[in-house]
Amino acid sequence: MTTNTEKTNRGNTNSKSTAGMTVLVTGATGRVGRRVVESAEAAGLTVRAASRHGAVRFDWADRSTWADALRGADAAHLAYLPDVGAPGAAEAVGAFARLAVELGVGRLTLLSARGEHQAHATEQAVRESGARWTVVRASWFAQNLSEGPLLEEMRGGELVFPAGEVLEPFIDTRDIGDVVVAALTGGDRFADRILDITGPRLLSFRQAVAEVSAAAGREITYAPVSAREYGAALQEFGVPVEEAEFLVGMFETNLDGRNAMLSAGVREVLGREPRDFADFAAEQADAGTWKS
Ligand SMILES: NC(=O)c1ccc[n+]([C@@H]2O[C@H](COP(=O)([O-])OP(=O)(O)OC[C@H]3O[C@@H](n4cnc5c(N)ncnc54)[C@H](OP(=O)(O)O)[C@@H]3O)[C@@H](O)[C@H]2O)c1
């Protein structure tokens, strides 16, 4: 398990270039951030785990929290919430990245989304910040089905989602964590590059839910709806209109089949195959994640 406290590593067996490196991880308690923290600690880095409620307080919406989170770090991993392509993301991430450079934090990774044209301005803002950067463009997370807002529906036995029968190369967020840390510790190798990373297998959401259902030993079904219907439901549940409309636009583009192909990114960066969805499903089923 990880902690939210900054830790100084002792007995670190890491290479000279990364030994003692302090990395600020934003979104550190999230589906990806937790795994970045775990991978960074396993690599012997000193981790500063930041979020609104974390030990290191950091809020994208409150610029007064930014400098203290950055000061003294060597590198930072950026995950913008609510979404890397959301309105205002490019401005906030750009300002944060420039502040990072000013404060001597010269190495940045940005978690971005594969096939999301709305995220390109955010990526560009990091690329123009003056830092050495790596943009990690990830496909849909396997952990979207085991953590966060979709988990309740999965436990309830039916996932209603606007993904039709599109094929998606679900990625395990542990692989994203490993890729981010490899980029941060890899010297020039992955600097100033966009890394396109996916899982090893294309699955429709219906197939993914069926694999979860089989692993969990209980019936869980998938009910596709249109993005518009989904957006209307989100608003009924209290999601602000602007955010719901952004999500509708994102689902309509991202889930139209443009991402229905595998990439070799994980293999190139980590020198091994990405984790398979079946392993994720089996592990989470064993842990009781989808018990009703
Ligand atoms: N879902 C996907 O399949 C997918 C695919 C590719 C890329 N992405 C990108 O991944 C990112 C989301 O990552 P995730 O799924 O790991 O997140 P997540 O599981 O939703 O967790 C959100 C994390 O960010 C923190 N947070 C929330 N609001 C914040 C704010 N205003 N300021 C600072 N921290 C805040 C949360 O902690 P606190 O509550 O303590 O602040 C938490 O640590 C987004 O940028 C999204 O565009 C998602």
Which residue minimizes the CA distance to atom 21 of ligand 1? 30
Please state whether the predicted TM-score (pTM) of the whole model is above 0.85. Answer: yes
Gap from CA of 32 to ligand 1 centroid (Å): 8
Share of the chain above pLDDT 90, in %: 92
Q: Which of 51, 77, 118 to mutate to test the pocket of ligand 1 (most atoms within 8 A of CB)?
A: 51
Nearest CA to ligand 1 atom 34: 51
Stretch 199-203: mean pLDDT, rounded? 98
Query: Does ligand 1 have an atom closer than 6 angstroms to the CB of 144?
Result: yes
pLDDT per residue as tens digits for the range 26-77: 999 999 999 999 999 999 999 999 999 988 999 999 999 999 999 999 999 9
The closest residue, in CA terms, to atom 44 on ligand 1 is: 83
Question: Cα(14)–Cα(23) distance, rounded to whole angstroms?
Answer: 14
pLDDT digits (tens, 9 = 90+) for 224-239: 999 999 999 999 999 9
**DSSP for residue 273:** P
How far from chain centre, in Å, is Cα 261? 19
Distance from C-alpha of 34 to C-alpha of 28, rounded to nearest angstrom: 5
pLDDT confidence band for 5 (50 / 70 / 90): very low
Cβ of 59 below 6 Å from ligand 1: yes
Highest mean pLDDT among 2-6, 29-33, 234-238, 252-256: 29-33
Domains, the chain, in order of start with CATH, read 22-203+256-284 (3.40.50.720)
Which pLDDT does position 17 carry in this prediction?
A: 61
- Which of 112, 157, 118 minimizes the C-alpha distance to 136? 112
Q: What is the pLDDT of residues 139-164, one digit of tens each?
A: 999 999 999 999 999 999 999 999 99
Is the CB of residue 77 below 6 angstroms from any atom belonging to ligand 1?
no
* Substitution candidate for ligand 1 out of 47, 81, 136 with most atoms within 8 A of CB: 81
Hey, how many other C-beta atoms are within 10 angstroms of the C-beta on 61?
A: 9
Q: Which structure tokens are listed for 23?
A: 């990395």
Cα–Cα distance measured from residue 229 to residue 161, given in angstroms and rounded to the nearest whole number: 10
Mean of the per-residue pLDDT values for the chain?
93
Backbone angles phi, psi at 159, to 5 degrees: -100, 115
State residue 55's pLDDT score.
Answer: 82
34 lines ligand 1 (CB under 6 A): no
Summarised one tens digit per residue, pLDDT across range 73-113 is 999 999 999 999 999 999 999 999 999 999 999 999 999 99
- 18: pLDDT confidence band, cut at 50, 70 and 90? confident
Residue 17 DSSP label: T
3-state secondary structure 165-215: CCEECCECHHHHHHHHHHHHHCCCCCCCEEEEECCCCCEEHHHHHHHHHHH
Q: 24: CA distance to ligand 1 center in Å?
A: 15
Question: pLDDT at residue 137 above 90?
Answer: yes
Q: What integer pLDDT is reported at residue 183 of this predicted model?
A: 98
Instruction: Copy the structure tokens of residue 71.
Output: 């000061």
User: With a 6 A CB cut-off, is 27 part of the ligand 1 pocket?
Assistant: yes
Provide, rounded to the nearest whole percent, the portion of the chain with pLDDT above 70: 94
Ligand 1, atom 19: nearest CA belongs to which residue? 30
- CB of 88 closer than 6 angstroms to any ligand 1 atom: no
Inform me whether the pLDDT recorded for 15 exceeds 60.
no
For ligand 1, say whether the CB of 84 is within 6 Å of any of its atoms. Answer: yes
Alpha carbon of 136 to ligand 1 centroid (Å): 14
Is 150's C-beta closer than 6 angstroms to any atom of ligand 1?
no
